[in-house]
Structure 1
Amino acid sequence: MNFANYRKQPLFWNGITMAVLTVAILPLLFLDSRTLLGVNVWIKPLKFTLSVGLYSLTTVWVMFTFLNDWKQQNKIQLVLTVTSAIEIIFITLQAARGEASHFNITTTWNQIVYSVMGTSISIFWVFHLWMGYQIFRKESISQSIKESLVWGLGIAGFAMIIAFFMTSPRPDQLESIKQGIFQASGSHNFGIGDPGKGITFFGWSTQIGDMRVPHFFGMHVMQIFVFLAAFLMGKRNSIQNLFLIRTIGFVLLLVNVVMVIQTLNGESVFYINPMYTTVYGISFVLVSVCLFKLILQPKLHTHEATL
């Protein structure tokens, strides 16, 4: 697909807009010293513009390459673009105000922002799954490529839905709300104790459970599968390739589920727990072996006469 085709795709321009916003936000990290919960106020918008930009540019390739003849594909792109734009606009606006965008119900405005963001991302999730379903049911796509895309889109959909664990108000928050005290509704932290400073840039806690880790992991595993699908376009469609793709998909989904369980148990994914760490270690080895075998698969050769 050449650039002229890309220019007609809403998600392409969404990705470009996110890239421009990322560049625009970077200087603010140094010019604006304000912090929120110990973190520069512009870190969160930067993380989201990077994430949405990556999602947009990989998804537009998937839709144009495999769903170009689907009548609804342009509408799907528009919905994904608008709903993600709403998310970015509010996150950036709240950062400029020095206010938290998520879980913040301290004022009527903050409650509206949190509610609208929740609604927009829910719509985004539904249309993301609709796109994945269309990939699943399309017969013209090579089976190994199709399964790679479906695993990626499916795990990303799972990662989106686990975000709702974070939005559920905790018992102490519900009690405060009953007393007319509106501070927060939900949290990305699970467990008891100080979450600590967190990992540089990402802010993920290494002390207690942090649902942002499995959420991020599942969302961006999708890009691995999309790149894998692109790689497989030059490979033979074989039973072995299909088995390897299914193994990678099942293992990475299992890892994502285990991450959620460990987090809900109040334990950081980065804590060395013999059981969880063993699962992650074995999974890493399995996925690495499968990827290595896929890379070694012979390319398709076309027999053309040179004149």
Structure 2
Amino acid sequence: MEFDDYRKQPLFWNGIAMAVLTVAILPLLFLDTRTLLGTNVWIKPLKFSLSLGLYSFTTIWVLVKFLKDWKFNGRIQMVLTITALIEIVLITLQASRGEMSHFNVTNTWNQIVYSVMGTSISIFWFFHLWMSYQIFRKQSIPKSVKESLVWGLTIAGFGMIIGFFMTSPRPDQLEAMKQGIFQTSGSHNFGTGNPGGSLFFLGWDKKLGDMRVPHFFGMHVMQIFVFLSAYLLGKTNSNQNLVFVRLSGISFLIMNVVMVIQTLNGESVFYFNPLYTSIYGFCILMISICLFKLSSQPKEFHKEVIV
């Protein structure tokens, strides 16, 4: 695949823009010591630039490799690029102001920012699913490769929609709004009690439920399956490979769903619970076996052109 096929694509340059922003933010972590909720104000835009950059680069590979002839390819890239840029620009702007970008309804400006971000990410999610459906319909993709792509894109879509659990106002927030007090609407925290400390950089709570964990996990399982699909392009297209990919997809999806249930029950994914931890362990074992089996499959020595 020629580099020219990528550098002409909007989503590729969106990934480059996210990489540039990431590099620009890094020195600010040391030069700007302001904190928000106990965390440096620039941590959040840094996490989002990394996440959106990774999404952009993996998604553009999928679009160029498998959907190059799709008439809506360019349009869907533009929508994904514009909505991603809206998200990161507003997050970065709010960080520079020392304000929360999410859940912040303290004044009219912050309410507009929060509303626009919610709208843009909803549009982003819809077009992501549309692209996923086109991959599902594409008949010329080898079965095991398509299976991997569909699982990755579908679980990513599930991971994105999890975010809406965080946007629903809590009872105490609704009560405060009725009294004319506007502070926050929604939260990534679930459960009550004392926090159990947080993970370095990511900030996820180790004891109480934090919906950012399954949200992040679901979105970035996609990269695992995209890399797997690239690997499987050079392998024999067998039913055995198809089964192993499907079992991996089912295992990852089960993990993601269980993460959501555990979080809604007020427990962190990193908090030891015999039931949930056993499920995660079984799924990880199943995934490890499947990936090992897939990596030991013979190569297929012929060129295949996806049209």
Q: Give the TM-score normalised by structure 1.
A: 0.98
In 2, Cα distance between equivalents of 1:301 and 1:117? 47
In 2, Cα distance between equivalents of 1:204 and 1:138? 38
> Hey, what does 1:126 align to over in structure 2?
126
1:40-79 Cα deviation digits (max 9, x unpaired) = 0000000000000000000000000000000001100000
In 1, Cα distance between equivalents of 2:170 and 2:198? 22
In 2, Cα distance between equivalents of 1:102 and 1:188? 10
> Hey, what does 1:262 align to over in structure 2?
262
In 2, Cα distance between equivalents of 1:186 and 1:103? 5
1:12 partner SS = helix
> Hey, what does 1:201 align to over in structure 2?
201
Q: What's the CA shift for 1:5? A: 1.6
Query: Structure 1 residues 302 and 222, CA, compared in 2 at 3 Å: closer, same or farther?
Result: closer
> Hey, what does 1:138 align to over in structure 2?
138
Q: Is the 8 A contact 2:195 2:205 kept in 1?
A: yes
Q: Is the 8 A contact 2:197 2:207 kept in 1?
A: no
Asked if residue 26 in structure 1 is aligned to residue 26 in structure 2, the reply is yes
Q: Is the 8 A contact 1:67 1:135 kept in 2?
A: yes
> Hey, what does 1:4 align to over in structure 2?
4
In 2, Cα distance between equivalents of 1:56 and 1:133? 18
Q: What's the CA shift for 1:194? A: 3.1
Any unmatched runs of 5+ in structure 2? none
In 2, Cα distance between equivalents of 1:58 and 1:218? 15
> Hey, what does 2:235 align to over in structure 1?
235
Q: Is the 8 A contact 1:189 1:195 kept in 2?
A: no
1:5-48 Cα deviation digits (max 9, x unpaired) = 21110010000000000000000000000000000000000000
1:121 partner SS = helix
In 1, Cα distance between equivalents of 2:280 and 2:249? 14
Runs in 1 of length 4+ with deviation above 4 angstroms? none
Q: Give the TM-score normalised by structure 2.
A: 0.98
Q: CA RMSD in A?
A: 0.9
1:249-275 Cα deviation digits (max 9, x unpaired) = 001000000000000000010011000
In 2, Cα distance between equivalents of 1:144 and 1:9? 27
Structural mapping, 1:206-285, within 5 Å: 206-285=206-285
In 2, Cα distance between equivalents of 1:156 and 1:45? 20
1:115-148 Cα deviation digits (max 9, x unpaired) = 0000000000000000000000011111111110
- Give the aligned residue type for 1:37: L
> Hey, what does 1:173 align to over in structure 2?
173
Asked if residue 148 in structure 1 is aligned to residue 159 in structure 2, the reply is no
Query: Structure 1 residues 251 and 92, CA, compared in 2 at 3 Å: closer, same or farther?
Result: same
Percentage of matched positions with identical amino acids: 73
Q: Is the 8 A contact 2:169 2:185 kept in 1?
A: yes
